[in-house]
A = this chain, B = another copy of it.
Amino acid sequence: MNKKIGKQSFKLPSKPRIVSSASFVGSKEGEGPLGKLFDVIYKDDTIGLDSFEQAESRMLQSAVRLALEKIGREPDDMDLFLGGDLLSQIISAGFAARELRSPFMGMYGACSTMAEGLLNAAMLIDGGFAELAVCGASSHFSSSEREFRYPLEMGTQSSPTAQRTVTGAAAVAVSASNAKIRDAYYESIILTGGTIGRVQDYGITDASNMGAAMAPAAASTICAHMEDMGVGPEHFTRIVTGDLGSFGTQMLYELCYMKGYDVSRNHSDCGMMIFSKDQNVMCGGSGCGCCASVLSAKLLPDIESGVLERILFVATGALLSPLSSLQGETIPSIAHAAVIERRSV
């Protein structure tokens, strides 16, 4: 059966379920507006380990374990772990996978990783290749500053368009609709389709202006989804982007409007939800862990409880490296979109 719709989108006839999730964040995220919703908040940036990178990997590993624990399962019970992060050679995910010992596929979509993993997991489950898969993504403010920007010790000032990388890791467990999950943490959440992104590049070179670099990717994927599926923005209770921040969000509205879609009425951005304005984070949060932890802590529970009926979860990633920036390259970006909705009973 052909499940492809249009050029980039697909439906999921078997409607795989999201049965559990877990989120671990740092102290600043814990002090934000969603603070009470995260499963675990760490006070210490290294969570007692030797490095930020070890801490990030441990958080990701712990999120996967907790998501499984919530449904009475262990790492050995999952068919597949799809994980990724921002660090070189995705060491957070790789080292987490070593400890989890499950079959592992490493993903790289920068901050779009959670959506990339979700789409992949849902398609593999719909195709009959797995019954229970867990998607994980993480980021860490301090490991990202080391990887992409300046040593923290330099005390470099942020530019007004900068965003703060979220210290956070989240895991989302996806199961076949007919899988026997006795104690599902979520009873009513299903994945019904998605859109795989194309890389966009509007020539932005400023690594402190990721929102502007990623907005074209979000607009491209959202509009492709609308066109492929023949729906409008009003089809969704909310369209939720990953980490465009306040500046990128404005750009998204304009780009979509130029293509005939007004997404401003029911759009939210995880980067703007996770921190409040008085937390001094410039344009908002960013990083793989940003939309992953907001999805786990806020969006999925809201779908489960009926506050949200159907969302388009659009995670955006900037595909740059420190080296490509030094070599004068612009910042290409990608966005993947997953349709997550409440199952009508």
A residues touching B (Cβ–Cβ < 8 Å)?
1-4, 7-8, 10, 50-51, 53-54, 79-80, 84, 86-91, 94-95, 97-98, 101-110, 116, 120, 123-124, 126-131, 147, 196-201, 319-324, 327, 329, 332, 334
**Would A198 and B101 be within 8 Å (CB), given that A95-B329, A107-B107, A108-B106 are in contact?**
yes
* Contact pick for A127, options B8, B54, B127, CB 8 Å: B127
**Would A80 and B323 be within 8 Å (CB), given that A89-B88, A116-B105 are in contact?**
no
Closest beta carbon of chain B to A148's beta carbon, Å: 9
In the bound complex, residues from chain B placing their C-beta under 8 Å from that of A1 are 128
* Contact pick for A88, options B88, B102, B129, B199, CB 8 Å: B88
Instruction: With CB as the reference atom, state the residue of chain B lying closest to A327.
Output: B51
Closest beta carbon of chain B to A172's beta carbon, Å: 17
In the bound complex, residues from chain B placing their C-beta under 8 Å from that of A3 are 127-129
* B108 A84 Cβ-Cβ under 8 A: yes
Identify which of A51, A88, A126 gathers the most chain B CB atoms within 10 Å of its CB: A88
**Would A332 and B4 be within 8 Å (CB), given that A89-B319, A105-B109, A110-B89 are in contact?**
no
* B88 A128 Cβ-Cβ under 8 A: no
In the bound complex, residues from chain B placing their C-beta under 8 Å from that of A129 are 3-4, 10, 123, 126-127
Closest beta carbon of chain B to A84's beta carbon, Å: 7
Instruction: With CB as the reference atom, state the residue of chain B lying closest to A14.
Output: B127
Complex Cα distance A327/B54, Å? Answer: 9
